[in-house]
Amino acid sequence: MAKSRKQKAKTKAATKKVVKLKSRPAAKVKAKANGLPRASSKPYGQDGKALQGVRILDFTHVQSGPTCTQLLAWFGADVIKVERPGTGDITRGQLVDVKGADSLYFTMLNHNKRSITIDSKHPQGKRVLDALIKSCDVLVENFAPGALDRMGLTWDHIHKINPRMIVASIKGFGPGPYEDCKVYENVAQCTGGSASTTGFRDGIPLVTGAQIGDSGTGLHLALGIVTALYQRTRTGRGQKVSVAMQDSVLNLCRVKLRDQQRLKAGPLTEYSQYGEGIPFGDATPRAGNDSGGGQPGRILACKGAPDDPNAYIYFITQAPVWEAICDVIGEPTWKTDPEYATPKARLSKLNRIFERIEQWTMTKTKFEAMDILNKFDIPCGPILSMKELAEDQSLRKTGTVVQVDHPTRGAYLSVGNPIKLSDSISEVKRSPLLGEHTDEILKNVLGFKAKEIADIKGSGALSAPEKKEKAA
Ligand code: COA
């Protein structure tokens, strides 16, 4: 992005050329349309990374923000993580499994970043931050509401120093009655509609293990950032990108708001409770393991259950493969029996149908069942444990599960970039140690001279305050 002036010049030149080429064959003119450069002739994956040249001032902590900046780093952005001297991101020391080493909580969310320690409230710290703001394209933060302003990093201040800066923020809530609240994952799951629609009808609301509030919001923010970067190539100016965790969760629960509105038209026939004759209330109910779409589905026990807590398979009775299902489970008469032959007729008998299918799945392991059902295109999926996923060789091959080396904790497993770009291949590099790149950033990114660096360091802006000796 630092080369954008050059790019502009190139773009102008390209546009001029298009005008000159008027009389040439249409195909050639088309290849130069939209001011894009000529298609690279380098092999795919060998012409840099998608976000190469983008520099991120990463003020994120815990999970939501770090998920976002980690993705941007995997796409090639230079992510500079600013951490509080002494402690750094609080997750470095949370859920510690190897004494003295950064926790997995931290290492798995902060790959491919550089770390600099700055006390953002120290005058010399503010000086370094202002220099970083000048040389970065995006500032990403997920502090509690008002914290960035209290550091003096208001939108006006940032925009005055660098009008091209994109300021991207995650908060728990958008403007409204809860805008000042601090929020963590499960709070977002509860306030975004997920918990009220997860679990069984006769049980309490449940949160899910998928971190839809934190990682889900980080994903939303990453999309907002790259979109703002794209718009900036036209407008030349930055903008604010804001994502509320409540909004992200609700966005992921869109189908449940769909069902809320369908309730006006009558009972939700694909929910088990319809077949069980239990009336619906005025809000979307919890649907257990019913499928979220129009095709009934359930989790069914396989050989080994319940001793093995994961010996289960998700089974969908998709209408087009109903006849195959009947043959596989040994109920060929259900293919033509009017009580079972149509999706509508089956709705009131889903419990009976799934009990019968389960009699069959219990004779097979979840993998045997998967193999047999796949031959008939019957949609299904084994319940895979974290252990199984960690050992899955196909996930290792695609880089979705990677082994990373770390100087203080040794080798560990992580989830790599789940978004695969054919011309921007992600390499997973270990997370930085606290302040590992402080000197390098001051010198090479910000251009401070040795004397200035010594002065800044001497001021205490980059180091933890010394602990006072206890009085004897
Ligand atoms: N130097 C000096 N001070 C620093 C600093 C640095 N490098 N980095 C952070 N701080 C200060 C902040 O300025 C703030 O001080 P202030 O309250 O006096 O203004 C203080 O550290 C605490 O920051 P805060 O964000 O309030 O942390 P917290 O641990 O109290 O709260 C959250 C954590 C996650 C609840 C909160 O940050 C939040 O609600 N974030 C938005 C929603 C979110 O992302 N939640 C999910 C997290 S996974």
Structure tokens at 69: 């900046």
- What is residue 465's predicted lDDT score, i.e. its pLDDT? 77
Residue nearest ligand 1's atom 13 by CA: 147
Condensed to tens digits (0 to 9), the pLDDT of residues 67-100 reads 999 999 999 999 999 999 999 999 999 999 999 9
Separation of CA 377 and ligand 1 centre (Å): 49
pLDDT at 265: 97
Rounded Cα distance, 11 and 36, in Å: 7
Q: Write down the number of H helices and E strands in the chain.
A: 20, 11
Name the closest-CA residue to atom 25, ligand 1: 143
Mutate to test the pocket of ligand 1, among 182, 187, 245 (most ligand atoms within 8 A of CB): 182
> Is the link from the previous residue into 296 a cis peptide, with omega within 30 of 0?
no
CA 248 to chain centre: 11
Phi and psi at residue 103, to the nearest 5°: -70, 160
**Any idea what DSSP says for residue 343?**
H
Distance CA 432, CA 410 (A): 14
Say if pTM beats, i.e. exceeds, 0.85: yes
Residue type, 453: I
DSSP 237: -
Q: Which residues of 143-163 are buried (b: 16+ CB within 10 A; e: fewer)?
A: bebeebeebebeeebbbeebe
How much is the pLDDT for 4?
Answer: 44
Pairing outcome for strands 297-301 and 55-59: unpaired
The predicted structure's pLDDT at residue 417: 98
Compute the distance between CA of residue 210 and CA of residue 219 in angstroms, rounded to an integer: 13
| Residue 441 DSSP one-character state | I
- Distance, CA of 232 to CA of 220 (rounded, Å): 18
Taken in order 280, 285, 291, 297, the sign of the CA dihedral is negative
- Relative to the CA of 62, which ligand 1 atom is closest? 48
Residues of the chain with pLDDT under 50: 2-29, 471-472
Q: How far is the CA of 89 from the centre of ligand 1 (A)?
A: 10
Residue reference for tokens 């502090």:
143
Tokens of 112: 């491919």
Find all residues with CB under 8 Å of 141, minimum gap 6, and list them: 59, 60, 65, 148, 167, 168, 169, 170
- Ligand 1, atom 30: nearest CA belongs to which residue? 144
**Contact in structure between 220 and 241 (CB atoms under 8 Å):** no
Where are the alpha helices (H) located in 239-331, listed in sequence order? Answer: 245-252, 254-262, 272-275, 322-329
Residue 293 confidence (pLDDT): 73
Tell me how far apart the alpha carbons of residues 131 and 154 are, in angstroms, rounded to a whole number: 15
| 247 catalytically annotated | no
Expressed in angstroms and rounded, the spacing between residue 418 Cα and the centre of ligand 1 is 28
Structure tokens at 270: 């694909």
Cα(226)–Cα(331) distance, integer angstroms: 53
The secondary structure of 24-60 as a DSSP string is S-HHHHHHTGGGPPPPP-SPTT-S--TTTT-EEEEE-
Pocket test for ligand 1, best of 143, 148, 221 (most atoms within 8 A of CB): 143
Is the distance from CB of 105 to CB of 96 less than 8 angstroms?
no
Complete domains list, the chain, with CATH = 55-252+430-458 (3.40.50.10540), 289-378 (3.30.1540.10)
Considering only CA atoms, which residue is closest to atom 48 of ligand 1? Answer: 63
- Which residues form the pocket of ligand 1, taking CB atoms under 6 Å from any ligand atom? 62-65, 82, 84, 118-121, 142-144, 147, 150-151, 170-172, 182-184, 214
The Cα–Cα gap between 131 and 55 comes to 13
Looking from the CA of 94 toward its CB, the CA atoms found within 13 Å total 11
CA distance 25 to 306: 69
**Strand 138-141 relative to strand 166-171, pairing:** parallel
From the candidates 78, 214, 259, 290, which is the catalytic residue?
214
315 burial via Cβ count (<10 Å: 0-12, 13-18, 19+): buried
User: What's phi and psi for 397, nearest 5 deg?
Assistant: -65, -35
Q: Cα of 64 to ligand 1 centre, how many Å?
A: 12
